[in-house]
Structure 1
Amino acid sequence: MANQNANDNDTNVINADNNSSNVNSNRNDDNDAYEKVCYVCRRPESKAGKMITISPDITICNDCMQKAFNQVNSGNFPKMFGIPEGFPFAGMPDDLMNMMGGMNMGMPEKQKIKKKKPDDQVKPIDLKAIPSPHQIHASLNEYVVGQEHAKKVMSVAVYNHYKRVAALHQKKDVEIEKSNMLMIGPTGSGKTYLVKTLAKLLDVPLAIADATSLTEAGYIGDDIESVISKLLAAADNDVEKAQTGIVFIDEIDKLARKRETNHRDVNGESVQQGLLKLLEGAEVEVPVGASSKNAMVPMVTVDTTNILFICGGAFPDLDQVIRERLAKKSSMGFNAELKDHYDNEKNIFRYVETEDLRNFGMIPEFLGRLPIVFTLDALDEKMLTRILSEPKNALLKQYRELLAMDEVDLIFEPDALEAIAAKALKKDTGARALRAIIEDFMLDIMYEIPKDDNIGRVRITRAYVEHTGGPVIELRGQEPLRLANEN
């Protein structure tokens, strides 16, 4: 019996050793996939050369190690690492020494840089696996209502981007250039939502950046290269994967040249000038896992030549610029157009030209690097009604799901949907107004329903939406009961 217990104990020890070795092996495999970064100067191994491993979490390059030796010889070794002179290491308590020894002094996970793969290990993209434009368009139709022209343009552009990336591995004689896009549309028309939906459907890294936070280098705010840092983070710090990704810069109209100003335009025309090199294609150094450059963050070089850029903005007051240009073309005669012909045109952005964008404040060099310009239509009452119920994650479906958790059915009458769309149209903020309106009249319902377990169904009527009546409450196993609106 004692021998049996001893054998079992030996088996457990062996299994524990095997498990420990497997964990260490997996950890080593994970570490092998990333570059080593110098703990002092934060340069990766591809730039600083071979590293000297001091501990599993700390590596130092040869240059910093030589500097450390020089500091030791001169007696300034503690100063190199920021340690005050005369720091009492000898008198430090054992508990504090153990605590410092157990601290994780290695590189944070989000700042680890993946090693560059040899060309023979990079898997080329299968052209047959690339979704065709009509497949991308069909997928967008499940989430986005209307905007057929915009979805068609984006589907073709993304499809060509896939083929362009595939052509890089085939090394064809003809070099295919990228076509960056500029998306113009009124607020709430679905510009950002289109790109976010596209991010769910594609297998390439996609980063969404906001142009309002960008400033000229040296000023408070995000550097221009921060948009590439976000793309690198979306690619899991894989430089090669990020170099074939897509970047969407929202609120690009906020970079328009400021008129009648005497101060330096650090977040307008200056940022447009700085974005030129990114749009055209250049090798830029970007921080890994941070939005700004500093001495404690590793830097990598990213080539933006094969990155597809999509810029979008609402461009307020651009409609007035377009109408002024169209009014100048009006002439006299039987077939001439009146000067007020375009005053009531809701989709005036359809007539936009490069001249209008220059008058708005965008510099010609910037517009020249965005060859594809397309617009989104303003939403009318019919489109807003469809947005409420047709997409996969429509607002009505979201609220039905919320009440379903309380075992209550939620039904919207067709007249109620029309009333919601009419109220949203008056707010002039596009589809964003729909949620605000629904939240307003759903507040009392969401508050009262958890009180009563007998409620089985709630029917939203036009009168309730317009605050002239109440919803229809159906109790479980009873006739419907119409309640007066408390407002």
Structure 2
Amino acid sequence: MSNLTPREIVSELDKYIIGQDAAKRMVAIAMRNRWRRQQIDPELRDEIAPKNIILMGPTGVGKTEIARRLARLTNCPFFKVEATKFTEVGYVGRDVESMIRDLMEIGVNMVHKEETEKVRIKAEKNAEERLLDLLLPSKKKEQQSPAGFFMGTQSGEIEEKKEAPKDDSTREKFRQMFRQGQLDEREVEMEITVQSGAQVEIMAIPGMEEMGSNLQNAFSNMFPGKRKARKLKIKDAYEALIAEEADKLIDPDAVNELARERVEQQGILFVDEMDKIASRQDAAGGGSADVSREGVQRDLLPVVEGSVVNTKYGMVKTDHILFIAAGAFHFAKPSDLIPELQGRFPLREELSSLHKEEFYQILTEPKNALTVQYKALLATEGVTIDFSKEALEEISANAEKINEETENIGARRLYTIMEKILANLSFEAPDKSGQKIMIDRDYVKSQIDDVVEDRDLSRYIL
């Protein structure tokens, strides 16, 4: 587990997310508490439950990005799911427990990738030998005399010994050619595992997802993948052989056990659109929709509270998985959730709306800023572009204006405006190779002023 301090976590998040300092500090403390918990005596450790979080705020202000970057930073299994995909038991739809199975799948893939890297050097060595075997199949005597057959393989052994120096010399030459990349584009025929034709698709019947998973596993065991000969370029065949050799060196049971432990102790589940399943107290007459919403909350409660979920990799305890819920909460509020579920999300933070100052920072400061992305994209065509400070200020002001006059979609508005500004340039870029172009305020205005001024038109275009 990462042992970054809260200050270091916030510093890393600052590289990608502008503003929202209070929310960053809250998640940083939550992650540090997980590290602290691991240092405590085991008897007390199990008593310390994670402090789940609710992030509130309009779309596009960084709720999802904070959770996603946090997971990458700490190398924790992370899964994002929308609460609206779940339905109450008894209705057709996704089972709430399926998100734990999905998280476990991610954890297994993550650990498998790490273990593959550990054995990669040995796997590469074995793959190289197998590749040379494909390029230089061993020369066995095709026709053997009856005497040779009854006398064992003495004559064959003598012949192999005589040819060995020649074969070894050729093999070493091919090895050097392969390592220097001279054989990359040549083709070689090899057998690869293809998926079995027997496929079982189970409909999402409430409570039957686990049975569907078990049936698929049973059929995959009954009809294992077949080996099929295919021609591949040597560089592709080498990678396929590395993957096969690495799988031979890895213990799948150890991978599954390590993944289960990591999911249980470090897993992060990001449940978006939490406000959509809250039953509004002022809703007239209630109705079946609110009943269904409350049903999803009640199904969600035991998973958040701590239960055991059966997955194809074994039983997974959810007691110490960190849940981060998010939603706009324009119409509903956290207090509209059932009281038991509210109690499982003790930490709440409201993210503020973005204004032109934040938009300008978003365009200039993050490592993955939109301006950096567009410069890199057009550089592939030999076109060098740059943005003046005035141009970026104009873009930021327009983003704020349009968000105020139409729907507030936060920083996502910048994507639409930037694409509109650079659409013609992107289209003509192949014809402008070698040119340097400065995007200034006048250029920005010429591209979007007519749309910005026409409020009805901007609703559809920007």
Q: TM-score, normalised by structure 1?
A: 0.57
- Per-residue CA deviation, residues 284-335 of structure 1 (Å, 9 max, x unaligned), is 224x4xxxxxxxxxx73211111111111111235xxxxxxxxxxxxxxxxx
Match of 1:180 among 38, 45, 52: 52
- 2:272 equivalent to 1:250: yes
RMSD after superposition: 2.2
Within-5 A mapping of 1:121-270 = 130-167=3-40, 170-172=42-44, 175-236=47-108, 237=256, 238-244=259-265, 245-257=267-279, 259=283, 260-263=285-288, 265=290, 267-270=292-295
Q: Which residue of 2 aligns with 1:438?
A: 418
- CA change 1:234–1:173 in 2 (3 A) is closer
Within-5 A mapping of 1:276-425 = 276-286=301-311, 288=312, 300-317=314-331, 357-358=334-335, 361-425=336-400
SS in 1 for 2:316: strand
Q: Is the 8 A contact 2:420 2:448 kept in 1?
A: no
SS in 2 for 1:209: strand
Amino acid at match of 1:459: M
Q: Which residue of 2 aligns with 1:466?
A: 445
Q: Is the 8 A contact 2:104 2:263 kept in 1?
A: yes
Q: Is the 8 A contact 2:421 2:448 kept in 1?
A: no
Offset at residue 275 of structure 1 (A): 1.2
Q: Is the 8 A contact 2:308 2:316 kept in 1?
A: yes
Q: Is the 8 A contact 2:275 2:334 kept in 1?
A: no
Amino acid at match of 2:35: Y
Q: Which residue of 2 aligns with 1:65?
A: none
> Separation in 2 of the partners of 1:213 and 1:303?
22
SS in 2 for 1:305: coil
SS in 2 for 1:137: helix
Offset at residue 192 of structure 1 (A): 0.5
- CA change 1:368–1:217 in 2 (3 A) is same
> Separation in 2 of the partners of 1:221 and 1:391?
39
In structure 2, stretches of 5+ residues that fail to align are: 109-255, 450-462
> Separation in 2 of the partners of 1:167 and 1:468?
60
How many residues matched?
A: 291
- CA change 1:469–1:365 in 2 (3 A) is closer
Q: Is the 8 A contact 1:400 1:409 kept in 2?
A: yes
Amino acid at match of 2:101: S
Offset at residue 469 of structure 1 (A): 9.7
Task: Give the helix-richer structure, 1 or 2.
Answer: 2
In structure 1, stretches of 5+ residues that fail to align are: 1-124, 289-298, 319-355, 471-487
> Separation in 2 of the partners of 1:452 and 1:141?
36
> Separation in 2 of the partners of 1:390 and 1:189?
16
> Separation in 2 of the partners of 1:178 and 1:451?
57
- CA change 1:309–1:174 in 2 (3 A) is closer
Offset at residue 199 of structure 1 (A): 1.8
Amino acid at match of 2:47: E
Q: Is the 8 A contact 1:216 1:266 kept in 2?
A: no
- Per-residue CA deviation, residues 184-216 of structure 1 (Å, 9 max, x unaligned), is 111111100111111211122111111110111
- Per-residue CA deviation, residues 339-375 of structure 1 (Å, 9 max, x unaligned), is xxxxxxxxxxxxxxxxx532xx322221111011111
Q: TM-score, normalised by structure 2?
A: 0.60
Offset at residue 414 of structure 1 (A): 1.1
Calculate percent identity across the aligned residue pairs. Answer: 37
Amino acid at match of 1:307: I
